[in-house]
Structure 1
Amino acid sequence: MLSSVQINAHNHWVSVYEPLPNERETLFAKYEVTPDMLEYAIDPFEKSRVELDREANITLLIFDVFVPNANPDDDITAPLGIMITNNNVITFTNAQTNFVNGLIAELLPKFPNQNQSIKIMDLVLPLLMKLATAFFPPIRKADSQRKALQRGIRRQNNHVSINQFMELETNLVFILTSLQGNVALLQQLKRLMGSKLTTPHQELLDDIIIEAQQGLEMAQTTSDVVARISGAYSKVLDSNLNQTMKFLTVYSIILAIPPIVSGFYGENVDHLPFASHPFGWQITILITLIFIAISIWIMFNKRWWK
């Protein structure tokens, strides 16, 4: 789907949603988009970066966005293509990133169509600010989930809590990777276009970089804490398992003593001690208990229980 909204007399915002073949031809012919740039913009696996086509005067920003209400099987971040041409800003969205069109629609009323002083970057930079700060709530939510899981796991260690920690850690890795790419993109954008921007635009871009770096630091801290806690409690579970296996080993050794003693006396060997004694059966039980007591004493002295 392709739609166009006028920003002023010369500039338009073009929204492109999973373009069909005829819509691609429109992009090539009417909006001077090159085939290579289009493929970069709609690729769902592109990483955050700035791509330039100096001959066509096209600047393409691949900016990772946080996807609210993402399906459990989908990634929680996705790339958004923002293409800046001579007179247009073109956004490329899909099912995951289509919510960005709503954010842009909220910004458009601030730009009267008759105001010729409006620049394309007056739309692009505020949009980048919204997208950069959109990472803050999920990072804070992840930290709150971490605290809740940590409180629960203190009461009872179980694999369910560890699995929840692993899922939380995975989500933070996606957020962290996206923020690292976004910070690099913004810094590259400043190097490439800083001299062409107005002073207010330069200041706004600096603010966006600061916000993105702050989000990166928050995500890094939360990710490190989650990873350390998950690793620590995994070790606790491993230690508990080792203790259980050690107990079962000791228990099996103790249980092996009665069959050994009774086996000897069950062979009908006449010369064994107490074989012909009238209380021989009771004596064999006593011998068994003595061996068990000796075994337990040895194990305690060897600290096999620790």
Structure 2
Amino acid sequence: MIRYYTKQHGELIELTDYAVHCWINIEPPFSHEELEDLSSKLNIPLDFFTDPLDIDERSRYEKDGPIRLIVMNSPILNETDKENESIYITVPIGIIFSPETVITICSHENPVLELFLENKIKHFDPANMQHFILQILEQNVYRFISCLKKLNLKRNLLEQELYDSSRNSELWQMLRIEKSLVYFVNSLKANELLKVKMKRIDFLGLGLNEELEEIYEDLIIDNSQALEMSNVYTVITGSTMEAFASIISNNMNVDIQRLTFVTIMLMVPTIITGFFGMNIPLPFSHNEYGAVFILIFSFIVGFGLILFLNKKKHR
């Protein structure tokens, strides 16, 4: 869908067609023919629209006369429910801007852009293009940080379950978290490099606007913070998985040991009573209380063997 928006009296209003200084948002579903028509109508290179649709497109910027393109990675919830897939993935967002309009395009519905569509971001105005673009970049960083906090909370909850667990399901969940963090680390590194390069050449044309320059500086710092969080959480998650893999193995060994003790306890009486079940003369075979003596003796030997093995284990 290709939709046109403008801001009037603090309210986001959808337009029926293109207008100068409007915001054009492109999200699924849309056809290639629609992109071609919009490209021809606004005199924007078609590859500016198609490049951000490639899920493997790297973060970068490009310029064609007065038309400029920014491609950056953004986190979204993975719609695949497979237990070996990551919880979050990253997809490119394309920001195309000219002196007359700002265009955003993404191959998936993106929570960052949804915030603007729902008018939840204060003081944003598509007509103030530089500030609007900075706000999109800023909310994208905040989205990374929010997802990182959710992943860390989920990891902490899984840790509590893993202490007494002998199953692999929790480890699969940890693996999904680790994969998500790998996506985040790579994307945040690319986004940080992109922002530093854009600042160096003043790609957004902030010039001597100290307020916007300060916002952009804070944006780079926040991105670095998110990257540092991703690196720390990745190391912690990897170490946790190794530690709890050993714990799960140890828990299984304890369960097997308990079953072994039960087996020994049942095996010894079975062997002893088996001897007395033979068709040959044995002690107590003609005693009316012989069966009771044999059972008591069998359980004493069984418990004695268990105590002996348990004592040796704790030496």
Match of 1:52 in 2: 62
Q: 1:24 to 1:47 in 2, by over 3 A?
A: closer
CA contact (8 A) 1:67 1:97 kept: yes
Q: CA deviation at 1:211?
A: 0.9
Q: 1:290 to 1:75 in 2, by over 3 A?
A: closer
* Secondary structure at the counterpart of residue 109 of structure 2: coil
Q: CA deviation at 1:132?
A: 1.6
Match of 1:180 in 2: 189
Residue-by-residue CA offset, 1:189-242 (whole Å, 9 max, x unaligned): 335546965143554433211111112223333444455445544543432221
* Secondary structure at the counterpart of residue 23 of structure 1: helix
Q: Does 1:126 align with 2:135?
A: yes
CA contact (8 A) 1:50 1:188 kept: no
Q: Residue type of the partner of 2:145?
A: F
Q: Does 1:268 align with 2:279?
A: yes
CA contact (8 A) 1:64 1:178 kept: yes
Q: Does 1:292 align with 2:305?
A: no
Counterparts of 1:187-266 in structure 2, within 5 Å, are: 187-191=196-200, 193=202, 197-200=206-209, 202-229=213-240, 231-266=242-277
* Secondary structure at the counterpart of residue 256 of structure 2: helix
Q: Aligned equivalents of 2:166 and 2:275: distance in 1?
A: 45
TM-score normalised to the size of structure 1?
0.71
Unaligned stretches of 5+ residues in structure 1: none
**Displaced runs of 4 or more, over 6 A:** none
Identify the match of residue 80 of structure 1 among 80, 90, 93: 93
Superposition RMSD in Å:
4.3
Q: Aligned equivalents of 2:114 and 2:307: distance in 1?
A: 75
CA contact (8 A) 1:262 1:284 kept: yes
Q: Does 1:23 align with 2:31?
A: no
CA contact (8 A) 1:76 1:171 kept: yes
* Secondary structure at the counterpart of residue 134 of structure 1: helix
Q: CA deviation at 1:90?
A: 2.1
Q: Does 1:90 align with 2:98?
A: no
Q: Residue type of the partner of 1:93?
A: C
Q: CA deviation at 1:161?
A: 9.2
Q: 1:101 to 1:286 in 2, by over 3 A?
A: closer
Q: Does 1:37 align with 2:18?
A: no
Q: 1:134 to 1:199 in 2, by over 3 A?
A: farther
Q: Residue type of the partner of 1:135?
A: F
Q: Residue type of the partner of 1:250?
A: F
Q: Residue type of the partner of 2:110?
A: T
Q: CA deviation at 1:81?
A: 1.2
Q: Aligned equivalents of 2:124 and 2:102: distance in 1?
A: 16
Q: CA deviation at 1:276?
A: 5.7
Q: CA deviation at 1:92?
A: 0.5
CA contact (8 A) 1:67 1:78 kept: yes
Q: Does 1:62 align with 2:71?
A: yes
Q: Aligned equivalents of 1:31 and 1:75: distance in 2?
A: 34
Q: 1:92 to 1:98 in 2, by over 3 A?
A: farther
Q: Residue type of the partner of 2:2?
A: L
CA contact (8 A) 1:82 1:92 kept: yes
Match of 2:170 in 1: 162
Deviates more, 1:245-254 or 1:133-142: 133-142
Match of 2:145 in 1: 136
TM-score normalised to the size of structure 2?
0.69
Q: Residue type of the partner of 2:109?
A: Q
Unaligned stretches of 5+ residues in structure 2: 8-18, 82-86
Give the percent of matched residue pairs that are identical in Structure 1 and Structure 2. 22
Match of 1:2 in 2: 2
Q: CA deviation at 1:128?
A: 1.0
Q: Aligned equivalents of 1:64 and 1:168: distance in 2?
A: 18
